[in-house]
Structure 1
Amino acid sequence: MEQSIEQINRKIEKGDAVVLTAQQVCDLVDSGEDIRAEDVDVVTAATRAIMSGTYAILSFPVESSHSFLRAKEVYMNGVPAHVGPCPNERLGILDLMLFGTDHSVNDSRYGAGHLFRDLAERMSVEVKVVTDKGDSFKTKVTLDDMPYAMLYGTRHAFKNYSAFVNTSDEPAASIFHAMEFGPKLTEATISGCGQINPVKNDPLLESLGIGTRMLMNGSEGFIMGSGTRSSVEKPNLTAFADMHGMNPEYMGGFFTSAGPECIVSWAVPVPVTSDSVLESIKERDRQLKMPVMAV
């Protein structure tokens, strides 16, 4: 059975759509239920993990117009921000990009992921600006001072990520372990949420794609398409959402043995548009393969 997203949307508008969570579908299958495409219209899926491919674009005023011409360096709570690509500094406004894996020059355990959560919590953040003339000044801002604050993912929500081991004879620092990785295959870590992952439930991206609404850290956003390094074997997605609506509980920083990383949460509705989508939704954890990688 096939149905279009337009048909599903009409059912939703009439209140006739059947919406289940991915966990509910898997529980029904485990109980022996024969779930068919006509039995469910939308399945909600979600994931939460360290997602290195995260960055924010922020724009906000820091000084009066013509106070300085260019910002050479900017730091937010010590985390370096990249100025541009469309500089407006002569207006006293900064356009900034912050990478989720950058960390404070003052505290190596504080990263952009921590900063993003502090902003979502409406905490006051110190901004230090170094101008092209060598002058510097500091000011304080909160998220509510920012007309524009978007969080982006370049590659998020991998279908099923990986397990990791250290095959060498020495301990190894890695973003995949909170401590140094034990040597000689003595330890393993995993990253992935199995049967409830959005891309696991639509691995061919038949229903998910450009323009699909989703929630990033609880804030409404949109999928922009496949992410960087996405492949048929290991698909992932790219998306963005407004930071003003984000729930701090769903995001933050995490310190690994190789430095701070960024935690991001996704929630996505998967329209059941075909039998093949439903078959993917019905797959349970024990059926999902997880590759094992050496760090």
Structure 2
Amino acid sequence: MRSIAEINDKIERRQAVVRTVEEVKAQVAEVGIAQTAKEVDVVTTGTFEPMESSGAILNLGQTDPPIKIRQCWIDGVPAYAGFGAVDLYLGASQAVEYSGTTDLNDIEEVREGAEARVRQRGGGHVIEELIAGRSVPLRAVGQVTDCYPRASFETTISQNTINQFYLFNPRNLYQNFIVGVNGGDRALFTYLGPLQPRLGNAVYSNPGAISPLLNDPDLELVGIGTRVFLGGAIGYVAWEGTQHFPLQKRLPNRTPIGPAATLALVGNAKYMNPKWVRGCYLRGYGPSLMLGVGIPLPVLTEAVIAHCSVQDQDLVAPVVDFSIPRRVRPTFGLVSYAQLKSGKLIIDGKSVRVAPLASIYLSRQVATELKHWIEQGAFMLTEPVASIPNDRTFIPQDMRGS
């Protein structure tokens, strides 16, 4: 029907017709797939959910005399320093080790008492602080060499006092995920949040029918180089995500019945907005990062609209019992996202209350903000330079021989 170049031309002339994916679903219900495909140029999708496999690359610039950093703490959170001399990677789920005002000599003492206190701060919170333009303390220990004679370094940094500050996220945008429950006798604290005993609650993390990759189930539109909304700024798909599993079983509508495709994303954090990048803490589990991500889907064919017309009742996720401490846990079967969003499930004859870990409200806002960017000509679409692989299997460690 149309090409990305033709759509971009319309975006430049402010003539592109852009709809959020919810608006498209409503339009399809009213006028059908074919008519909607004729009228709409771009569909915007969005999600705002925890994405703990995220982090930031920082380059500090060299000191005088120079330092080769081997250990580093940013506001008390360890940053990885195992590559360039002043290149760092701050993981979103890395837990704080000490107060930003604690002397380095006291770190061992702090570690010894760490189990006695709840630490609700981590790398995601520091990333949020930096994106908000605030200053944070940094302390580093160096490996002394002839070319890097400095042994330690202490300063305060902000996004304006360092060279590079960008998110590089190994795994974002799970195409689908699981529903967590707890059939055991004690409360469990998981990456889905607290799960109450004896099926006291259920938690899901994917926003369902508005989620980006559920509307492009075979990743025909999204590839390496695709421009996306990432944390309130422009980002890009850099590679397949870790644990990318496109061979997951699928329904006839091509949507997966559990965790499937993932994407690695990259974007300049100096342009991001803390509204869309928020550190969070999951009780008893640890820190993470709430992240807003939106993907524009160009309407190249009617099939694009057909995929985008999928509704919550057409999507399913497995209900997984976390009380069994195994990699492969038993399930209570599949439930639709329509059932999940009703706030109640019936499991083994028992009514179980349900809550989302994702913010459905903010997920909708991501799609709406991306729509406005495109309508204003501030966001152009990109042609992928390569496809995301569709043949990756999932390799668990315990399947290997000794």
- TM-score scaled to structure 2, two decimals? 0.67
Deviations 1:68-96 (A, max 9, x none): 4x222100001101114222xxxxxx110
Between the aligned partners of 1:135 and 1:148, the Cα distance in structure 2 is 23
Between the aligned partners of 1:150 and 1:294, the Cα distance in structure 2 is 37
Deviations 1:161-205 (A, max 9, x none): 22111122322121211x4x2122221111011122111111111
Between the aligned partners of 2:12 and 2:271, the Cα distance in structure 1 is 25
Could you tell me which of 211, 218, 224 is aligned with 1:204?
218
1:54 deviation in Å? 0.3
Between the aligned partners of 1:131 and 1:147, the Cα distance in structure 2 is 19
Could you tell me which of 76, 88, 91 is aligned with 1:96?
88
Describe the SS at the equivalent of 1:291: strand
Q: Which amino acid aligns with 2:27?
A: L
- Whether the 8 Å CA contact 1:160–1:193 is kept in 2: the answer is no
1:117 deviation in Å? 0.5
1:48 deviation in Å? 0.8
1:18 deviation in Å? 1.7
Between the aligned partners of 2:65 and 2:220, the Cα distance in structure 1 is 49
**Matched residue, 1:90:** none
Between the aligned partners of 1:294 and 1:96, the Cα distance in structure 2 is 38
1:140 deviation in Å? 0.4
**Matched residue, 1:17:** 16
**Which sections of structure 2, spanning at least 5 residues, go unmatched?**
100-118, 145-149, 249-259, 323-402
1:256 deviation in Å? 0.7
**Which sections of structure 1, spanning at least 5 residues, go unmatched?**
88-93
Comparing both structures, which one devotes a greater share of its residues to strand? 1
**Matched residue, 1:42:** 42
- 1:282 has 2:309 as partner: yes
Q: Which amino acid aligns with 2:160?
A: D
- 1:273 has 2:272 as partner: no
- Whether the 8 Å CA contact 1:207–1:272 is kept in 2: the answer is no
Between the aligned partners of 2:209 and 2:162, the Cα distance in structure 1 is 37
**Matched residue, 2:175:** 159
The more displaced of 112-121 and 77-86 is 77-86
1:135 deviation in Å? 4.6
- Aligned-residue sequence identity (percent) comes to 30
1:212 deviation in Å? 1.1
1:281 deviation in Å? 0.5
The more displaced of 273-282 and 250-259 is 273-282
**Cα distance change, pair 138–238 in 1 and its aligned pair in 2 (3 A):** same
Between the aligned partners of 1:203 and 1:250, the Cα distance in structure 2 is 25
Describe the SS at the equivalent of 2:139: strand
Root-mean-square deviation (CA), in Å? 1.9
Could you tell me which of 268, 271, 286 is aligned with 1:259?
286
**Matched residue, 1:186:** 200
Describe the SS at the equivalent of 1:61: coil
**Matched residue, 1:91:** none
The alignment of Structure 1 onto Structure 2 pairs a total of residues equal to: 283
Deviations 1:241-288 (A, max 9, x none): 001000011111111121111111112211122232211111122221
Between the aligned partners of 2:219 and 2:313, the Cα distance in structure 1 is 22
Between the aligned partners of 1:168 and 1:210, the Cα distance in structure 2 is 42
1:62 deviation in Å? 6.1
Between the aligned partners of 2:320 and 2:221, the Cα distance in structure 1 is 30
Describe the SS at the equivalent of 1:266: strand
Deviations 1:37-65 (A, max 9, x none): 22211101111110011011100136324
Between the aligned partners of 1:284 and 1:290, the Cα distance in structure 2 is 14
- TM-score scaled to structure 1, two decimals? 0.90
Deviations 1:113-153 (A, max 9, x none): 10011001111110011123595442101111121111022
- Whether the 8 Å CA contact 2:55–2:124 is kept in 1: the answer is no
- Whether the 8 Å CA contact 1:215–1:241 is kept in 2: the answer is no
Between the aligned partners of 1:142 and 1:58, the Cα distance in structure 2 is 11
Deviations 1:8-61 (A, max 9, x none): 22333344432111111122234x321322221110111111001101110013
- Whether the 8 Å CA contact 1:164–1:190 is kept in 2: the answer is yes
- 1:292 has 2:312 as partner: no
Could you tell me which of 81, 104, 107 is aligned with 1:83?
81
- Whether the 8 Å CA contact 1:167–1:294 is kept in 2: the answer is yes
**Matched residue, 1:224:** 238
Describe the SS at the equivalent of 2:310: coil
